[in-house]
Structure 1
């Protein structure tokens, strides 16, 4: 575990109650992996299910945590990034209360400070969401 719930907010700009990632599991040049437990106090929990915006935000925060961790390991400070666009979004299922989401982010392309990534959420091996995001990182 590279980052845990206790220190993830040192790397990402989001703060409670809007944190949608608990642990950064891995981070390297090919991508990032995280986990997130669906808890009762989540802003996006409705009728016992975590809603789509939380899953999309989870992917974005996984990117932020991954880039932040890599920057910190290199001796720098975490940079701020913005979602420049979302495409190829497919919602397959929604996770329920007390389930843990596993998120995988794969780097597809980079042009200067713009990154194209593929994000996927899984719960108990079931695919929840897939999408591509353009992330613009402030230099």
Structure 2
């Protein structure tokens, strides 16, 4: 069962806006885990002419899955979702690029949270096939007033 599949609702939980959104479903949420999905459209800034989502698109989808976890977590606490940045990417391997029309799912497990830095490990799947794995750190931006 999908928790959220509305583009409008997803847009309130992540800082990215069209045409740069690469998550369209919140499938599972737990305190230390999330599964998010994305139906790859034909027209997207990170879809190559060949019809494949680019490597940058796969990595950004992974990062936006983290952002969706943080945004949903903040929303559950009645707080405005934070803006964050990719701090580092580690041991990221892409085995296969998905095509337009494919639906990918990414499962992220949180390894550590400390002082606004979140370290995760995750995998991107196309059906039951793992097409990418890796680790990432994201950093929540400090608000400036």
Gaps of 5+ in 2: none
Please state which structure has a larger fraction of its residues in strand.
1
Q: How many residues align?
A: 139
TM-score, normalized by length of structure 2? 0.90
Q: Are residues 1:110 and 2:113 paired?
A: yes
Partner of 1:48: 51
Out of 126, 135, 139, the residue aligned to residue 136 of structure 1 is 139
**Runs of 4+ more than 4 Å apart:** none
| In 2, Cα distance between equivalents of 1:31 and 1:138 | 21
SS of match in other structure, 1:49: coil
Task: Provide the alpha-carbon RMSD of the alignment.
Answer: 1.2
Q: CA–CA distance in 2 between the matches of 1:99 and 1:6?
A: 21
Q: CA deviation at 1:44?
A: 1.7
Matched, 1:80 2:83: yes
| Structure 2 Cα separation of the partners of residues 73 and 109 of structure 1 | 20
Give how far 1:109 is off.
Answer: 1.5
1:26 is aligned to: 28
TM-score scaled by length of structure 1: 0.94
Residue in structure 2 matched with residue 2 of structure 1 by the alignment: 3
Q: Where does structure 1 lack aligned partners over 5 or more consecutive residues?
A: none
SS at match of 2:101: coil
